[in-house]
């Protein structure tokens, strides 16, 4: 199993989407690459993200990236859908340098790669979100109104 972290705006929608992808074993909503314990609070500087454990024998990292790019605006900085602010930036983070190189190569191969503003950085810190944020859209269907990712895009079947 391998682990990678996807930041794509509000973590509720990203987790709902990612956990349904073929080859994904588990997900956890959290915060990545921030400054824990600063004056701004426990999440200061963090990006909302989804910790994603996947089986590389069942799905490639490149396929996960292709699907992830379906639900984000990769050209936007600190903004996804109705969510604005640095915590809603897009990014892919990992402790595995090979993952980061493959992500950079995948982005470079895109026709509009010069416009893409997705962070690709080593994981420096991670903290899990509170239980109320875990699997939020599954537990609280009324909160779908707060999600900027279209439901039909989220629930479309995908094959590895």
Distance CA(18)–CA(78), nearest Å, equals: 20
Q: Please say whether the beta carbons of 76 and 103 come within 8 A.
A: no
- Which pLDDT belongs to residue 42? 56
- Which pLDDT belongs to residue 37? 55
pLDDT tens, 46-80? 999 999 999 999 999 999 999 999 999 999 999 99
pTM exceeds cut of 0.85: yes
- Which pLDDT belongs to residue 98? 98
pLDDT tens, 128-149? 999 999 999 999 988 888 888 8
Interval 93-114 mean pLDDT = 97
**Among the listed residues 105, 89, 108, 107, the one whose alpha carbon sits nearest the alpha carbon of residue 97:** 105
pLDDT tens, 2-36? 999 999 999 999 999 999 999 999 999 999 998 76
- Which pLDDT belongs to residue 38? 53
Angle between helices 11-18 and 61-71 (to 10 degrees): 140
Q: Tell me how far CA of residue 108 lies from CA of 4, 100, 101, 105, 121, in angstroms.
A: 19, 12, 10, 5, 15
- Which pLDDT belongs to residue 41? 57
Q: Please say whether the beta carbons of 35 and 41 come within 8 A.
A: no
Active site residues: 10
Q: Tell me how far CA of residue 103 lies from CA of 34, 136, 157, in angstroms.
A: 21, 28, 23
């Amino acid at each position: 199993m391998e682990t990678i972290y996807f930041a794509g705006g509000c973590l509720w929608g990203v987790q709902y989407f990612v956990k349904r992808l073929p080859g994904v074993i588990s997900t956890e909503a959290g915060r990545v690459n921030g400054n824990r314990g600063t004056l701004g609070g426990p999440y200061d500087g963090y990006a909302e993200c989804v910790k994603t454990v996947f089986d590389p024998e069942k799905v490639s990292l490149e396929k996960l990236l292709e699907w992830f790019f379906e639900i984000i605006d990769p050209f936007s900085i600190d903004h996804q859908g109705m969510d604005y602010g640095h915590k809603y930036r897009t990014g892919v983070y990992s402790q595995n340098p090979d993952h980061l190189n493959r992500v950079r190569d995948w982005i470079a191969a895109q026709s509009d790669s010069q416009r893409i503003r997705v962070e690709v950085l080593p994981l420096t810190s991670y903290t899990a979100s509170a239980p109320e944020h875990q699997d939020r859209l599954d537990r609280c269907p009324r909160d779908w109104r707060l999600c900027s990712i279209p439901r039909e895009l989220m629930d479309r079947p995908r094959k590895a």
